[in-house]
């Protein structure tokens, strides 16, 4: 009786907001009789069912008609959308380009959702203030109204203040208290503080370091970094081993570095290369007139905002719910059979050029019927992720810094949560909000982790997220109006030792016969917006170069 009455109380008092929430795929509920029994929501996986159609392409219907385009882009993540935008900028007409996306909407790892309370990210959720030398990226940001001008005196870009992350930006829950910033300070012994200081001094130095080839030791995009052996050899050993050798052994520093690697790569310091571990810090060279290099740009929808801008900056069609399969050579180029999950029809799309903006494991399947030379295998370590969007009536706060944009709990498996309402300009602080909790399922064997992730129930995910968050927010469970879960079976590439500077990555990015081009962050080894953008640009330009060669 009491538990059912409590359930009713929450439904009755808070249900108003709950009812307005947009209905999403498959409503799941938490275990009845548990403290979570009032919680329900959706459980998504990056369209696993559709993706897995590719395992048995023979079962898909034969094409009923044929279309012709100049360039077909397979995959609507950041790389694919950027390629689409770049092709338009380079002069291709809308009807000459077609993008097919397996999911019901484009965005890839930068997808976003929305309910009656707020928009919220399902994956990537910020862009660090960019290196001003990244002119192409800056041009995109200017076109999107994110970059609003240039300071006459310093020549530095000025960013839209409503998009620069508002203060307070980050906090860390450590020893029962929220401290400012994510680098552990509270209760850290002096010897470890000295290590932290030494590490960040080294990073400052590496940030300035230039190789003998005149290139920065660490730079975004990765391909702009120096090829010097002295830096490249860092890619041969695990970050953790390198840290041990350098005497960076303090538990707080190591937690922080593990957190950072898990945050960007989905894998801890033991699984990524020292080059990648250092790149995370030393490649951040953002400068702006009204922000510093540590600042980030963010939106309630996270990088879903950037995806929307990319989409809006080109006119060519995007065909969602569409699986491309059976790519094959034709006398005039290539053709892909494209199966639409909604209409259950297959269309053959003939194209002079195809850009594969897909992760390597998809690319491999799609190109199976082309000659072996078309695809150079790129084995990628890819951790699964789980993202939980919690719509809460309130967020009971512990002592210390108030709710910030990024909120991390020291010593936990997750990488914390972001507050989707952080950039709000409203005075009414109270009331429902959405927070997005991220957890990479880092394991030495991602295959096993992925299997386990797909078997974990909705209730288990919500239980795990709340069990962790309750340690910092006592009573949060009762405040949850809705919990929506996304299981990313194939999260993103982890720059394992030898990946970034190894031969496979470079080979996999090479076009084939002026017909087949590749664009994906797998080809960078680092899955961040800037790399996806760079990959898309590079592939689009290669396509154009190939076309002009063909014409000549």
Partner 1 sequence: MDKVPVRRVKRPALGASTAAAVAPTDYRSTLLLGSVFVIATCGLIYELIAGTLASYLLGDSVLQFSTIIGAYLFAMGIGSWLSRYLGGSLLRWFIQLEILVGLVGGFSAPLLFLVFEHVSSFRLILYALVGLTGVLVGLEIPLLMRILEGRFEFKDLVSRVFTFDYIGALLASLVFPLVLVPQLGLIRTSLLCGALNVVVAGIALYRFPETRPFRRSMGGALVASLLALAVAFGFAERLQAYTEGLAFQDQVIYTKTTPYQRLVLTKNQRELRLFLNGNLQFSSADEYRYHEALVHPVMQALPQARRVLVLGGGDGLAVRELLKYPQLQHIDLVDLDAGMTQLFQHNQMLLELNHRSLLNPKVRVINADAYQWVRQDSSRYDCIIVDFPDPGNYSIGKLYSAAFYRALEQRLAPGGWAVVQSTSPYVARRSFWCVAHTLEAAGFTALPYHCYVPSFGEWGFVLAGRNRHWRPDAGPLPPGLRYVTPATIRAMRFFPPDMSEVPTEINQLNNQALVRYFEEDWGPYVH
Q: By C-beta, is 199 or 299 nearer to partner 1?
A: 299
Q: Any idea which residue has 């059979």 for tokens?
A: 337
Q: By C-beta, is 404 or 524 nearer to partner 1?
A: 404
Contact between 154 and partner 1 per CB under 8 A: no
Contact between 5 and partner 1 per CB under 8 A: yes
Contact between 204 and partner 1 per CB under 8 A: no
Which part of the chain contacts partner 1 (CB under 8 A), choosing from 320-328, 346-354, 475-483, 484-492? Answer: 475-483
Q: How many other CB atoms are there within 10 angstroms of residue 209's CB atom?
A: 15
Cβ 483 to partner 1, closest distance in Å?
Answer: 18
Q: Which two tokens stand for residue 35?
A: 């403290």
Give the orientation angle of helix 304-312 with respect to helix 135-143, to 10 degrees: 80
Checking DSSP bridges between strand 40-45 and strand 480-493, what pairing results, if any? Answer: parallel
Contact between 427 and partner 1 per CB under 8 A: yes
Contact between 396 and partner 1 per CB under 8 A: yes
Selected from 208, 345, 369, 397, the binder of partner 1 by CB under 8 A is 397
Contact between 344 and partner 1 per CB under 8 A: no
Contact 332, 350 (CB under 8 A): yes
Contact between 152 and partner 1 per CB under 8 A: no
Which residues make Cβ contacts (< 8 Å) with residue 420, sequence separation at least 6?
118, 119, 120, 121, 300, 301, 302, 389, 433, 434, 435, 436
End-to-end CA distance of the chain: 81
Selected from 25, 66, 93, 162, the binder of partner 1 by CB under 8 A is 162
With 0-12 / 13-18 / 19 or more C-beta atoms within 10 angstroms meaning exposed / middle / buried, residue 269 is buried
Checking DSSP bridges between strand 126-128 and strand 296-298, what pairing results, if any? Answer: antiparallel
Contact between 479 and partner 1 per CB under 8 A: yes
Q: Which helix (H) or strand (E) holds 478?
A: helix 476-479
Contact between 4 and partner 1 per CB under 8 A: yes
Which part of the chain contacts partner 1 (CB under 8 A), choosing from 49-57, 87-95, 272-280, 422-430? Answer: 422-430
Contact between 181 and partner 1 per CB under 8 A: no
Which residues make Cβ contacts (< 8 Å) with residue 344, sequence separation at least 6?
61
The radius of gyration of the chain from alpha carbons, rounded to an integer in Å, stands at 24
Which part of the chain contacts partner 1 (CB under 8 A), choosing from 68-76, 235-243, 380-388, 419-427? Answer: 419-427
Q: By C-beta, is 284 or 439 nearer to partner 1?
A: 284
Contact between 13 and partner 1 per CB under 8 A: yes
Contact between 308 and partner 1 per CB under 8 A: no
Q: By C-beta, is 185 or 460 nearer to partner 1?
A: 185
Question: What number of CA atoms fall less than 13 Å from residue 489's CA on the CB side?
Answer: 20
Cβ 310 to partner 1, closest distance in Å?
Answer: 24
Q: By C-beta, is 393 or 522 nearer to partner 1?
A: 393
Selected from 31, 142, 158, 168, the binder of partner 1 by CB under 8 A is 168
DSSP code per residue over 261-293? HHHHHSS-TTTSBHHHHHHHHHT----BTTB-T
Point out which residues bind partner 1 (CB under 8 A).
1-6, 8-9, 12-13, 161-162, 164-169, 290-291, 295, 394-397, 402, 425-429, 474-475, 478-479
């Amino acid at each position: 009786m009491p538990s059912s009455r409590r359930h009713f109380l929450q439904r009755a008092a808070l249900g108003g907001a709950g009812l307005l929430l947009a209905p999403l795929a498959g409503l799941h509920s938490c275990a009845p009789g548990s403290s979570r029994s009032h919680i329900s929501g959706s459980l998504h996986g990056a369209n696993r069912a559709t993706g897995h159609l590719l395992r048995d392409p023979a079962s898909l219907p034969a094409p009923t008609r044929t279309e012709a385009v100049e360039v077909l882009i397979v995959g609507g993540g950041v790389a694919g959308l950027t390629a689409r935008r770049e092709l338009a900028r380079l002069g291709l007409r809308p009807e000459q380009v077609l993008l097919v996306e397996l999911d019901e909407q484009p965005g890839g790892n930068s997808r976003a959702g929305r309910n009656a309370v707020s928009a919220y990210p399902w994956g990537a959720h910020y862009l660090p203030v960019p290196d001003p030398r990244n002119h192409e990226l800056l041009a995109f940001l200017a076109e999107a109204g994110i970059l609003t001008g240039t300071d006459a005196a310093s020549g530095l870009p000025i960013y839209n203040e409503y998009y620069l992350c508002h203060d307070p930006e980050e906090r860390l829950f450590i020893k029962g208290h929220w401290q400012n910033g994510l680098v552990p300070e509270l209760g850290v012994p002096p010897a470890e503080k000295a290590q932290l200081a030494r590490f960040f001094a080294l990073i400052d130095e590496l940030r300035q370091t230039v190789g003998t080839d005149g290139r920065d030791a660490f730079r975004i995009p990765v391909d702009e970094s120096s090829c010097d052996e002295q830096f490249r050899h860092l890619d041969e050993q695990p970050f953790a081993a390198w840290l041990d050798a350098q005497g960076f052994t303090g538990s707080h520093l190591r937690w922080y570095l593990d957190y950072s690697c898990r945050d960007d790569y989905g894998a801890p310091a033991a699984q990524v290369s020292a080059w990648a571990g250092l790149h995370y810090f030393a490649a951040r060279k953002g400068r702006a007139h009204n922000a510093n290099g540590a600042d980030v740009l963010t939106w309630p929808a996270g990088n879903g905002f950037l995806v929307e801008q990319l989409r809006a900056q080109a006119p060519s069609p995007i065909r969602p719910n569409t699986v491309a399969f059976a790519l094959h050579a034709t006398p005039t180029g290539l053709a892909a059979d494209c199966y639409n999950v909604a209409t259950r029809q297959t269309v053959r799309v003939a194209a002079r050029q195809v850009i594969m903006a897909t992760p390597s494991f998809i690319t491999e399947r799609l190109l199976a019927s082309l000659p072996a030379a078309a695809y150079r295998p790129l084995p990628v370590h890819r951790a699964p992720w789980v993202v939980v969007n919690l719509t809460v009536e309130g967020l009971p706060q512990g002592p210390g810094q108030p709710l910030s944009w990024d909120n991390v709990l020291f010593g936990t498996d997750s990488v914390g949560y972001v507050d989707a309402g952080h950039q709000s300009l409203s005075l009414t602080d109270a009331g429902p909000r959405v927070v997005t909790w991220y957890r990479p399922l880092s394991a030495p064997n991602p295959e096993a982790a992925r299997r386990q992730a797909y078997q974990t129930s909705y209730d288990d995910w919500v239980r795990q997220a709340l069990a962790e968050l309750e340690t910092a927010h006592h009573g949060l469970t009762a405040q949850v109006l809705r919990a929506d879960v996304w299981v990313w079976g194939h999260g993103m590439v982890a720059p394992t030792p030898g990946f970034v500077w190894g031969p496979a990555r470079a080979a996999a990015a090479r076009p084939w016969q002026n017909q087949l081009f590749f664009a994906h962050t797998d080809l960078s080894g680092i899955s961040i917006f800037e790399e996806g953008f760079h990959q898309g640009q590079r592939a689009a330009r290669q396509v154009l170069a190939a076309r002009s060669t063909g014409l000549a």
